[in-house]
Chains A and B, each alone.
Chain A
Amino acid sequence: MIATRFMELRKRRGLMIALVLVNIGIPTIFLTVRLIAHAVAPKSYGPAGGYDIFTNLVAGVMYVFGFIVAATLGCTAGSVDLTEGMFRHLVVTGRSRLALYLARIPAGLGIVVPLVAIGFTVVCTVCVAAAPTKLYYEGAVVPAGLSRTGFLAWAGENPTYVLCDLPGPVPGNLACPNGSSGGGPIIRGGPSSGGSGQPSAAVLKAAAIENAARDYPGYAATFRSPSVPLMIDSGLWLELEAIIGFIVGLGLASLMGQRTVPVVLMIVLELILTPIFSTAVIPHVINLQRGVVGLAMAHLEPGGLPLAFGGNSRGSGVSQLVPESTAVAVCVVLAWLVGWTVLGAWRMMTRDA
């Protein structure tokens, strides 16, 4: 039954085109354009891949639209037998209605999961292979992958560069190569460097190391390309999001007996309700907000990605999400998966065919 259900869904050409386009086409086209642009005009267009492109594609496009198309497939799987008149034929076979419902799950996931995986693989491949050769932190070129000790040591060896080009207070009267004379608080102390008024080398080194220590958390969250653990975590997170979209869509459409309205509701959930309920604490209903699966998924988001629906840049931003522990988030996800499956199956079992 699973194979025939898979065949029935796969043969829906329009739907499959939409799935492929969103999960694979959009990231592929985007990255291809970047690759071509960088190849043609490397000075005007940066490298096609890299960490920032990876995080933006994953946490932006693939996360949101992957959910929506998976939900569309789920809504289709949950309703078309009824709307196209096949449901009564299936019921008349005598096969358990629960079995008829459950067969749709592996069939639909057999479509959604590989498509998400393929799209994600394309993104990972390009973001790693076409990553920048240098690491840019706050607009400055810095060595990549240094430990804290290594970063401080590098700062000590390049004090003028660190003080002039990286964030942090600058000793007074420091003449920067780019013409800036600094502007931060004056750092007193140490033997003078001579009649020019420039801080001494020791003062510069100490200041640079102090700034580097302050800047290290931000630097540590900056990468040329996504790490393997981040890619694995992100891939699994995207797959989970798509699975949730499919299962909830399947259950909702089975409950309502139609496709269009459930698809609209899923879009509203993902694009409107989830961002609102995830970031705005509403008194007296905060526990209800914690029950929103989008908030739970935001809390399960891999640490290297921008915070979904709230917070700002990686590592340095403060999360604006409604607080929720990881354990609660996992429970919420499981509850949605199980709950909507039960609801959808129950309706199929009780509906007049």
Chain B
Amino acid sequence: MSTPALLDPSDKQAASNQWAVETHGLTKRFGQNVAVNDVELLVPRGCAFGYLGPNGAGKTTLIRVLLGLTHADAGTMSLLGYPVPKRRGAALARVGAIVDEPRFHGHLTGRQNLRILAAAREHAARDRVGPSLERVGLAHRADDKVSKYSMGMRQRLGVAACLLGDPQLLILDEPMNGLDPAGMYEMRDMILSLVAEGRTVVLSSHLLDEVERTCDAVAIVDRGHIIRQGPISELLAGASLGLQVECSEPSRARGLLESTNVGAHIETGDQGLGITLPAGTERDVIAEINRVLVEGGIAVYRLQQVQASLESWFLQVTSRLGASE
């Protein structure tokens, strides 16, 4: 990644800003519907950042507001330290983005489409068309018309378009959409390599599993409002503890545990129990569960702690929110 020449003091100030994306009180309404609701978002530089939420949560709308595709109704925002929209040109010169499904002129080849986009950027972008296509693995199909491309190829062409500006920040909206497992693997690999080069990648998705594998930090959005954000490890530290117990007589085992004060949520299955303990539960509680079962005459074949996943944590957080409403 090349470092642009810094001539303006404001450029130096922007470069020293630690946040790749920064928003305060950002709001966007469509009539009565508040799609982005007072969003305070801080995306640190040089990481893969996931922007998670269910369909209709406002993820794409926030991205569109950040990129100037639609205007904000309230709040402030900056990209790479440049206030937007005041210094939108300087900000977007080093930003690449995919919003929704990437679409191109079908009657033109992949290479020709990129030339059109490169022509709208700085002169050096024209020399990056070939390398961008190679980077995304489309060099061998670059001179085929886009109308002949598959969905995955169009996604990759979209990423190639992002790379034309040698971006410090990439914003990818649902980049895994329409990709097969191999395509998802390649996309994930590409994102990690971009982060390894020192770039920041903001990834918006509803595929929690993919985000967990790819990102270092996330923000969870629901109904336009960010409900949690931070490094994944810190967020999951507050997650409930799960236990899988394979045992005989699951129903009686459940009854034994419910009569104790371990404070667990218990579900029975054919082969055993699924136990959810509150966040911060001490290891001694696990030992106590085992003791209660064994002393109760239950044969315990397997007792396994289940790693908290982003998905399970997300469901917990959003279900708690739903319950509080």
What is A's interface to B at a CB cutoff of 8 Å?
A: 1, 3-5, 7-8, 11-13, 80, 84-86, 88-96, 100, 352-353
Q: Is the CB–CB distance between B105 and A84 below 8 Å?
A: yes
What is the CA–CA distance of A89 and B96 in the complex, to the nearest angstrom?
9
Contacts of A96 in B (CB 8 A): 89
Which residues of B in the span 5-22 have a Cβ within 8 Å of any Cβ on A? none
Q: Is the CB–CB distance between A80 and B92 below 8 Å?
A: no
Q: Is the CB–CB distance between B113 and A86 below 8 Å?
A: yes
Closest B residue by C-beta to A5: B116
Other A-B pairs, 19, CB within 8 Å; known A3-B119, A88-B69, A353-B64: A7-B115, A8-B108, A11-B107, A85-B103, A88-B100, A90-B116, A91-B67, A92-B68, A92-B95, A92-B96, A92-B97, A93-B92, A93-B121, A95-B120, A95-B121, A100-B120, A352-B64, A353-B68, A353-B69
16 contacts between A and B (CB under 8 A): A1-B119, A7-B115, A7-B116, A8-B116, A11-B107, A11-B108, A13-B107, A84-B105, A86-B104, A89-B117, A90-B116, A90-B120, A93-B120, A94-B121, A100-B120, A353-B68
Per-residue 0/1 for B106-142: is the Cβ within 8 Å of any A Cβ (1 yes, 0 no)? 1110001101110111000000000000000000000
Q: Is the CB–CB distance between B105 and A80 below 8 Å?
A: yes
Contacts of A13 in B (CB 8 A): 107
Contacts of B95 in A (CB 8 A): 92, 94
**Given A4-B115, A95-B120, A89 and B107 contact (CB-CB distance below 8 Å):** no
What is the CA–CA distance of A88 and B101 in the complex, to the nearest angstrom?
11
What is the CA–CA distance of A95 and B97 in the complex, to the nearest angstrom?
14
What is the CA–CA distance of A96 and B121 in the complex, to the nearest angstrom?
10
Q: Is the CB–CB distance between A84 and B67 below 8 Å?
A: no
Contacts of B68 in A (CB 8 A): 91-92, 353
Contacts of A90 in B (CB 8 A): 116-117, 120
**Given A95-B120, A353-B70, A86 and B89 contact (CB-CB distance below 8 Å):** no
Contacts of B101 in A (CB 8 A): 85
What is the CA–CA distance of A91 and B95 in the complex, to the nearest angstrom?
12
What is the CA–CA distance of A89 and B98 in the complex, to the nearest angstrom?
8
What is the CA–CA distance of A88 and B161 in the complex, to the nearest angstrom?
12
**B46 at the binding interface (Cβ < 8 Å):** no
What is the CA–CA distance of A1 and B90 in the complex, to the nearest angstrom?
19
Closest A residue by C-beta to B112: A7
Which residues of B in the span 75-99 have a Cβ within 8 Å of any Cβ on A? 88-93, 95-97, 99
What is B's interface to A at a CB cutoff of 8 Å?
A: 64, 67-70, 88-93, 95-97, 99-108, 112-113, 115-117, 119-121, 161, 165
Contacts of A1 in B (CB 8 A): 119-120
Q: Report the minimum CB–CB distance from A15 to chain B (whole Å).
A: 10
Q: Is the CB–CB distance between B69 and A92 below 8 Å?
A: yes
Q: Report the minimum CB–CB distance from B71 to chain A (whole Å).
A: 8
Q: When A and B form their complex, which 3 residue pairs have the shortest distance between CB atoms, in order from nearest?
A: A85-B103, A94-B92, A353-B69
What is the CA–CA distance of A4 and B105 in the complex, to the nearest angstrom?
12
Q: Is the CB–CB distance between B69 and A84 below 8 Å?
A: no
Contacts of A89 in B (CB 8 A): 102, 104, 117, 161
Contacts of A85 in B (CB 8 A): 101-104
Q: Is the CB–CB distance between A12 and B112 below 8 Å?
A: no
What is the CA–CA distance of A95 and B122 in the complex, to the nearest angstrom?
9
Q: Is the CB–CB distance between A84 and B70 below 8 Å?
A: no
Closest B residue by C-beta to A83: B103
**Given A1-B120, A86-B105, A352-B70, A94 and B89 contact (CB-CB distance below 8 Å):** yes
Q: Report the minimum CB–CB distance from B6 to chain A (whole Å).
A: 17
What is the CA–CA distance of A5 and B121 in the complex, to the nearest angstrom?
14
**Given A8-B105, A11-B108, A84-B103, A92 and B92 contact (CB-CB distance below 8 Å):** yes
What is the CA–CA distance of A7 and B95 in the complex, to the nearest angstrom?
26
Contacts of A5 in B (CB 8 A): 116
Contacts of B121 in A (CB 8 A): 93-95
Contacts of B99 in A (CB 8 A): 88, 92
Contacts of B107 in A (CB 8 A): 11-13
Q: Report the minimum CB–CB distance from B145 to chain A (whole Å).
A: 9
What is the CA–CA distance of A352 and B95 in the complex, to the nearest angstrom?
19
What is the CA–CA distance of A352 and B104 in the complex, to the nearest angstrom?
18
Contacts of B113 in A (CB 8 A): 86
Closest B residue by C-beta to A1: B119
Contacts of B64 in A (CB 8 A): 352-353
Contacts of A3 in B (CB 8 A): 119
Q: Is the CB–CB distance between A84 and B117 below 8 Å?
A: no
Closest B residue by C-beta to A13: B107
Contacts of B116 in A (CB 8 A): 4-5, 7-8, 86, 90
Q: Is the CB–CB distance between A84 and B106 below 8 Å?
A: yes
